[in-house]
Every structure is written in structure tokens, then in C-alpha cells.
Amino acid sequence: MRPPENPSPLAGEGGPRSGSDEGSRTSSTSTDTTPPHLFDPSSVGLRPTPSPARGEGGLSRRLILTSGLALAACSREPALGQPVAEPPLKSLAPFRIGTAVRAAELTEPAYGDLASRHFSQLTAEWEMKMEYVVQPDGSFRFDRADAIAGFAQRHGLRLFGHTLVWYANEPEGFVKLDETRQSFEGALRNYITAMVSRYRGLAVGWDVVNEPVMENGEGLRESLWTRKLGQTGHFRVAFEAAKAADPDAVLFVNDYHLESRPAKLATYMRLIEQLLKDGVPLGGIGCQTHCWSELAPGAITATLRALASFGLPIHLSEMDVSVVQGGAFANRAEAERRQARLYAEAIEAFAALPERQQFAFTVWGLRDRDSWLKRENASDTPLLFDDAGRPKAAFTAVADALRR
């Protein structure tokens, strides 16, 4: 099983491990600083915190400035690499091309330059997940998510929200919810409303439910969310709340190993079919594409074609290619050649989709040293840029495929 992608918190920081369009809402002059909460504010006498006031282009100037301060507060050592001479990937791609980031890395000038030079969309790797946002008392923490959103806006990048409901996240605030004061469904709706409305107008889409299919493909996962709201009932609640909070955002279900496990792909497709039949406002399909270098050629292409049969936008949402996990190739050079070919195949298969279905192509991390796979195995090199931020053969393969 692929473990959660999230690391430990930064040294010295506490907490768990871890908007609207211009003119649609006016800023409040309320002095209430009570944070948003799982409890319905009206049921406990609390007033919700106003959403950040929007200026032209989305988030407020105040949020942008405070985001910069938040990033500076969690700064790490400078990156090793120098700016690369290759043309920006986003200048070659006719669709959005994205990467996953964490707030701390965005304080490194070289990292920030590399991310903003090559990518047009950012996904928060883990700092928009419940395990970071939802505090034990049920209040919400947005500091790092705001920092990432602020960086995106300052650099003219799109933001993608990841993720609202994930089986692996069961925050204490939800587990110990006092349901005599607030229903579980009401608490989930409050949470999703707070998250999605906060980044309305900047976040172009959301992973609403993440990784719902069992590892072996034999059915759907059990979780706190399914126990409380039903196997598909939690989809209805989550998607309806997200749709109400931002009608313009594209709402996704998202899962992994679809290209390597036919049973999992089949179950995923049956789930999508059922959700659409039930009228759940599903707007797009996420295919994570975490791969091993020995994945058979053509597997990614076949998977994207199958998912595209629904006619919905496709997000190739979390691509990386491990050169050590499968263990089939003793020859590292051959594994890296296969890695480059898989990246090229993925880009070509995505580009072959109808234009209206090309939501975005996202790589799950920037430099090798930032990857969750690197944290599992220090010898792995799964991304487009090496530890120092230099482009690799995989980068060249992607760039060449985009030029074709």
C-alpha cells in the first residue's frame, strides 16, 4: 500500500502532523476572530470568520502579504541548483502543467523560481489535508494553505485543492465530535464549505474524495467517513457541499495504481458510473499515476483512454516514477531510461485526449529530494529535476514530447 505522502511538521512548529469572485461578497468589519469550526456556528453561539476580502484577481492583498510572512517564518536552507536554460515546460504545454509543493520549500528562492518558471498550477502536497487543517478542538488552521495560495497568486499560477476527504485522515476533531451539538454530516459540510469558499476564485478544482478504492480493487475502502455517512453517502455530502461553496470549481474523485492493477481500474470506473447515475456533482476524474519504472509500455495510455470514455475532464494528478520500488531492474541506467519513456508516454497520452478533457498534468514534486518516495528510500530519484534542481533525462523526455 502506498503510504500517506505527508512528512512530519517543521522543527519548532506545533500542531498536528501533518473566497469568492470579486464583487460576489463584501468584506466584513466584524472584529470577531473566532476561527471557522466543525460546529455549526449558529448552534453554539459562534460567528463565522469572514472570508478574506478579494481584490482584483482573487485573494486579498492582506492574505498575499501574510502568506509571505508565513513562508518566511518557516524558511529552510537555500536550494542547491541554479536556474536552468531549458524553455519553461509551461511554455511548451497547451494544457496546465503542475507540481506539488509544500510551504517551506517555497521560501527557497531557487525552488520558488524553478516552480514558477516551469509550472502553471500548484497542488499543496499535504497542507490542505484535514490532518493539518483540522485541530483537535475542531477549529481550522489555514496558515500554510494560505501561504501556498498567496505564492500561486503572486506568480500568476493556478491552485488545485487537495484533498477534502481522504480515508487515511481521521482527525481527532471529527473522531471526538460531540454529535449532541452538531451532526457528523453537518460538521463535514461546515469543513468543506470553509475550505472551498476560502479559495474560491483561485482554486480551479478540488480532489473531493481521494483514494476510495481498495488496494486490490475488490470494493471500496472502509473509513470514518463511510462508517458515519455510508459507502457512497459520503460522496454525496462532500460533493454537494463543495459544489455549493464554489459552483465554478471542477470537482474530482482521485485514485492511484489504476494503470498497473486492472481490478482497481474496473472498480474505479464502476464507482464513477454509479456516482454519475446517482446525480452526484462529479466534474472530473483524477488518475494519480504513481508508477514504477518497469511498468509495461502502453499501460498509462490505455488507462487514460478508458477513463476518458466518461467524457469528463481528466487530471493526471500526481505523477512520479520510482526507479527502486519495483526492484525488477538491477541496472540503474536502464531503470532511468524506462522512467524517461514513461514520462514521455504519459505526456503524449494526455495530449491525445480531447482538449476539453485535458484538465491538467501534475508531477508529484519538484526536485528528487522533495519527493515522498525519497523520504522512503534515499536512493530513489522519481522526479524531473535532481536534488540540486537540474533537469534530468525525464525532463528532456517530457519537453521533447511536448514539442511533438
Q: Mind telling me the catalytic residues? A: 211, 318
Q: Which of 159, 134, 163, 139 is nearest to 148 (CA)?
A: 159
What is the grid cell recorded at 346? 504519459
Q: What angle do CA 99, 102, 105 make, to 5 degrees?
A: 100
* Cis geometry, peptide bond prior to residue 33 (ω within 30 degrees of 0): no
User: SS3 of 354, please?
Assistant: coil
CA distance 375 to 6: 10
Residue found under cell 500526481: 318
Q: What is the DSSP letter of 12?
A: T
Q: Which of 349, 392, 343, 318 is nearest to 101 (CA)?
A: 318
Q: Are 311 and 285 in contact (CB under 8 A)?
A: no
Taking CA atoms, 244 is separated from 5, 48, 173, 193, 241, in Å, by: 29, 17, 23, 8, 5
Q: Are 45 and 226 in contact (CB under 8 A)?
A: no
Q: What is the DSSP letter of 389?
A: S
